[in-house]
Structure 1
Amino acid sequence: MFSTLSPLKAMVLVGKLYAAFVTLIVFIMFVCGVEASLQAAFRVVFGGALLLEGLLFLTANFFGKKFGPDIQY
């Protein structure tokens, strides 16, 4: 089977998009004057990372079972 996007490249792309999104959110927090302490910034970063990891796990699990090969171990 031919694939144009390897799983590793897909993970790197998602990581870069997440990093850009978090940078934007933290920047908005500082500009808007929200009580943006370092602790609040870390909470946004790690909370989002945990949510993204769970979403990617569920998505990979669903699509892996739906479109993956039937391998018997």
Structure 2
Amino acid sequence: MKVLKLAAVIDASGNLHLDIPTELSAGTVDVVIVLNPSIPENLKEKSYDFSDLAGGLSWEGDNVAMQRVLRDEW
């Protein structure tokens, strides 16, 4: 069994043409194809910047003590 990985192009009609030279002898083979669309670097989804949604909280008091009070309510 051989695993081959290569980049290929699907034409405008939706056909994928493969011409793959192998070192196998002539005969019947099973072929398994997994198509994984590659995304060009400029189209990759960019991580969203949430900084415009984040706010600041001015807190008076002991943060840890308040956390314990809220947790103990459960």
Q: Same fold (TM over 0.5)?
A: no
Q: Which one has the largest radius of gyration?
A: 2
User: For the superposition of Structure 1 and Structure 2, which TM-score range results when normalised by the shorter chain?
Assistant: under 0.3
TM-score between both structures, scaled by the size of structure 1 = 0.25
TM-score between both structures, scaled by the size of structure 2 = 0.24
Q: Which has the higher contact order (CA 8 A, sep 6+)?
A: 1
